[in-house]
Structure 1
Amino acid sequence: MDDLPPAIVLEILNRLNDFVDLARCRLASKTLNALSYDVRSLKILCSFDRYLKSKVPATKSSITPFKTIVKNLVLNLRNIEFITIGVEKPFRGIPDDDADDESDDLYLTTVNFVSQWLPAISGQLKSLAISDFWIQSCWRRSEVLSLISSYCHSLLELEVKNAWLSVEGLKSMQVLTSLTLEFIRLDDEDLDKVNECFPSLQVLNLIGVGGLRNPRVHLLQLKKCRWTVSNAPLSLTIDAPNLVELDLKCVKPDSLVIEAPLLAALNLSIEKAANFGVKCLPNLTSLQIESTHLSTILVGFPDGKTVEKLVVDSPRCANSVDVLGKVDFDALMGTFPNVRSLTLGPGAWSELEVGFSIGGLEGGFGVKALQQIVVHLEVTNYRITGSFISSILGRCPNLLDVVLIVDSCVESEVVRNLMSMCIVECPRVRWRLEHGKSDQNIMGF
């Protein structure tokens, strides 16, 4: 190793990325030790095994505190650009009774800890990720965002998980383009401060951010947003004139307003909204909707003529379908007449099939754009299912590709009868049969 050019050795060290391997290299030779301080990327994670050993009296004294390890590894790094510090995911499964609420050995977003190493490496830092230990951090409000904004003037990406954050003292970060907050506790005024202090954000991920009552995202440069709302806010507003992709999962806000004229891809999972408003989306081509009240959501949807790829599902079972509020196939395709690819989840198919079994297809208009349909279904009566599929094909003269994803618990004879019926009645179509589970996630969340 000592005979290799320093540039190659450094490249090897950069590819390690793991702090345990880096620490071993420092002990292996003087050359590796000297070059280790020039790595550009480093990930330091406290393992579940280390945590357990630090709590057991027999091994506690022999375990170096994790915060000490972080400081020893990070201090004196000369060219670090990407750093991740945190605990492994299994920590979330630890019962509260198994942790000492007064302990702060893994409270990683505390300013007292971060201030000991962040200023020394902040000059060239482009990406910073801190994943805290929720049991120790959830009841302590951290001002780490203020510290980060004071020192990290070149930071492009910031990720903070499992913490209660304060925006007090937060300064504007003009170059930050990506922000991820996951399992974070915030207030409405805190989110307003985020809008104000991160004006250049192009990517925003808000996953399980609690404490918000009337949250509003207002970012002029935002292009991609994933927002999973953990509670039931009174109102939820997204105002982003340059937004292109949006993944939004919420329960049942009183009001949902989306203002994003450039939006091209929308993935929306929502139970219902008393006031559902989406402004005109002239560039929307890909749409995924999951809702227990599909008819309400579709009624409030703007002109869907631009949508070419559509995925629809409802978590309700077939026996709980409200026929009075059902969505039938004609209404669905009337809202999105130019869809080329249609995917129907098991809940949506059940709702459509129940409506068909009661009243058939009533509209009678053709759907010329549809070329492919993917159906996730549970077959309770293969004759009704086959008849419904045949009726759909009768409305879609250019439909040539049908994928049937049948629940694995359906008897093989029923599946064979369904396929035989479909092939005989519609020989022009290319049929594909796949097996799956009725509760599989088709929405991408």
Structure 2
Amino acid sequence: MEQSRAQFTLSQWLNWVEQMHPSEIDLGLDRIRQVYQRLAVDFGSTQLVTVAGTNGKGSTISYLSEILQAAGYRTGCYTSPHFLRYNERVRIGREEATDEQLCEAFRAIDAVREDVSLTYFEWGTLVALWLLARAELDVALLEVGLGGRLDAINIVDPHIAVVTSIGLDHVDWLGDDIEGIAAEKAGIFRTGRPAVCGADPAPAAIAATAERLGARLYQKGAQFSVQSADDGWQWQGLNPAGETVVYRQLPYPQLPFQNAATALQVLSLLPLAVDEAAIHQGLRSASMTGRMQQVALPEGRCILDVAHNPQAAELLAERLADHAGRVRIVLGMLGDKDAASVMQALQPLAAGWYLATLEGARGCRAERLAEQLAGPAGCFDGVLEALSAARAELQPDECLLVAGSFYTVSAALDALKMEK
């Protein structure tokens, strides 16, 4: 390794690895597996849980992490992308990885990779795995970035594999067929090990792939289920012995409780004792940046949610309809997303649209978004301009919503943080 890289700061490492591979996305495991084997990463007795899905990955991981920590276990998480700091992607307990830890991991990978070219995401995955393995965890929770079968995280053999939901997203890479996308996501399943699916109904490819791979499938609506009630909600599922487990009068969480149901099935399959008090505490405390995140502004209430596909937008609209009233919507999206369907889902709530151009190769211009919207909208050069215009017109009985992409919410959070 060049002497200059040995002294890199975190921002220098990130800039360097971003330029190292000719494409941002390059699905396949051969390159990363070579480097992973050279690193000789050893997770020891750590339970590994991989989580794939169109939506719900982050909230499922948040539930698992909070409940396990409430029960006294040491957990670590790898998620992406980040909002304000790259460090957010790797957490031990509730602490983000430090710059020093991340730089040490980058140096370790660079020392063994030789001439193997890695994408930005592959570098980040190896960094996370190297750090989490050294943390001597009880459970490591690993989010799949794109698809499943060919995603970088699939170099790990999980003790439990999870698919949260299936929808049309990343169609340029995964195709526009639900069954095909489901098969790709189910590619994280492993022979003889539990596979949990929270999609209900689930595409037939989930069960077919589990059977082909010899995984033990636990599906929502079959092996586990939920029932809503005024005094809380009830969950019923199975433990590894096939015995029924029931939790009653569970508190409604901040995040979608359907994903909490998936998390509870995972917990029931882990070889760890978790009492109901820890489950209640974890459900109450689970939260995520950019998921129904509420911010109090001088002009009124603001909600930030990264909803960037039709499935997520429909869920967001359903939740907003219950308590938000009319909404002024700041929306910025990537060009490979189904913007028309996202806007259609949110349209019944809209008091006004403020469309923002996102920069970069994948960013979508505001004018292109406006072409797909049935009705008037303001077009702005960036998120900050759109946010400012929406705030200026926000009425006392209205809510401001920022949505459409991690990039949109990140820019808004950064602007609101600077104000403080």
- Normalising by structure 1, what TM-score? 0.25
Instruction: Report the structure, 1 or 2, having the larger helix content.
Output: 2
- Normalising by structure 2, what TM-score? 0.26
Structure number with larger C-alpha Rg: 1
